[in-house]
Amino acid sequence: MLEHRFRHLPVTDTMGEVIGILSDRDIQRAMQVRRQGVELEVTLPKNRRVKDFMSWPPHSVKDITPLKDAVKFMISEKISALLVTSAQSGKVRGILTSEDLLAELERLLERPMPVRNPQIMGN
């Protein structure tokens, strides 16, 4: 996750079915921190599996879901990521994150705003 700068990963069972989502926050909660003099030692518990820390059930939306509905769902559930599944096959197509939404908002804010109801002066 660090190497590829992913903050969320879908978790699948042996049949390839999505059973959860693992976030960087899930990993942070799993970390054990111990002070060694002035240094901190950070480790993950041994013999534990991803399923012990993943969030489940995974929240998802279909790829045909209006973006506005996905955003409302993320807000109401207080989540930062949604799995996006194919409406046809049900397979995971991607992950929609709050960072994706903020990047889109930034792009929209950078566009020139149209002028509505301009007032013509001097008439």
Q: Model confidence over 15-34: pLDDT tens digits?
A: 888 899 999 989 988 888 88
Number of domains in the chain: 1
Q: Give Cβ neighbours of residue 43 (< 8 Å, ≥ 6 apart).
A: 31, 32, 34
Whether 100 maps to a domain, the answer reads yes
**What's the pLDDT at 88?**
93
Encode pLDDT of 34-89 as tens digits.
888 888 888 888 888 898 999 999 999 999 999 999 999 999 999 999 999 999 98
* Segments forming the whole domain that contains residue 100: 8-110
Whether 102 maps to a domain, the answer reads yes
Whether 33 maps to a domain, the answer reads yes
Residue 122 β-bridge partners: none
What CATH number is attached to the domain comprising 87?
3.10.580.10
Whether 118 maps to a domain, the answer reads no
